[in-house]
Amino acid sequence: MQQFYGNGQQQQPMNQMMQTGFTGQMNHGAHEILDTHQVLSGFTGAFNEYLMCEQHIKDPELMDILQRQRQFMTNEYNILVESFKTGQEPSQKTSTYLMDQSNEVKYGLSPSQPTKPNQELSQIGDKCTSGIMMSCMKSLASCMTMAAAECTNPVVRRVLADSIPNHIEMAYELFLYQNKKGYYQVPQFSQQDMQQMLNSFAPAPEMPNQMKPPLQ
């Protein structure tokens, strides 16, 4: 999706890499190693949870979402594993996830039964499984953001950074599905309260000309 070496930066010659320690597998900081391990563990956890959810899904639409997301995550996972192990640009580029839901959101609350923990496996259905899936994607997006902010390896950082919007998109796709089915209701403020909240902030004043940063 994007070049892995930004700002015109090129890969260094091998002899220079050996001198500076920029040697692929060794081009990782300890913090990055731990954070990326956490991301990859999050991936494997998401795969396991999707596998368990698959047994309880009844809606073909939700099953389609699960299968498309799992296939996309498999490619993401393999790209991250490759770049993490080698420290070099992976054999395939990251791609963009395209959800299959309308952006329309239903607003307002409808009468419904209070939610409580399930006591039997037979009670687990599409509402529960879609919620589990959404939690997985939100967790991975958050974990990737933390890891990407402190990566020393530019390839791994780019792979993680490119993956964050995809998991936000997958979580949003599941939110839209839940909202459409009435599982995730969206309340609103009154018109008066909404206007007061929307008008709570004003634009910042322009900086004086002598303080403006130079145009790039």
Mean pLDDT to the nearest integer, 80-84:
94
Residue 138, domain member (yes or no):
yes
Residue 137, domain member (yes or no):
yes
Residue 167, domain member (yes or no):
yes
d(CA 211, CA 189): 40
Distance linking the first and last C-alpha atoms of the chain = 24
HSE on the CB side for 66, CA within 13 Å?
24
Dihedral sign, CA of 64, 66, 70, 72?
Answer: positive
R_g (Cα) of the chain, nearest Å: 22
Domain with 190, as residue range(s), is 28-106+124-199
CA distance to 52, 63, 89, 92, 186, per residue, from 153 (Å): 34, 37, 10, 17, 41
Residue 59, domain member (yes or no):
yes
Closest C-alpha among 50, 165, 187, 179 to residue 102: 179
Q: Do residues 28 and 87 lie in contact, with contact meaning Cβ atoms separated by under 8 Å?
A: yes
Mean pLDDT to the nearest integer, 121-142:
95
Q: What count of residues does the chain have?
A: 216
Residue 39, domain member (yes or no):
yes
Q: Provide the pLDDT confidence category of residue 10 given band limits of 50, 70 and 90.
A: very low
Q: Provide the pLDDT confidence category of residue 25 given band limits of 50, 70 and 90.
A: low
CATH number for the domain that contains residue 138: 1.20.1260.10
> How confident is the model over 134-159, as pLDDT tens digits?
999 999 999 999 999 989 999 999 99
Residue 17, domain member (yes or no):
no
Dihedral sign, CA of 73, 77, 80, 86?
Answer: negative
> How confident is the model over 174-194, as pLDDT tens digits?
999 999 999 999 999 999 999
pTM of the model: 0.82
Number of domains in the chain: 1
Alpha-carbon 83 to chain mean position: 18
Compare 61 and 110 and report the one with higher pLDDT.
61
Residue 130, domain member (yes or no):
yes
Residue 211, domain member (yes or no):
no
HSE on the CB side for 165, CA within 13 Å?
10
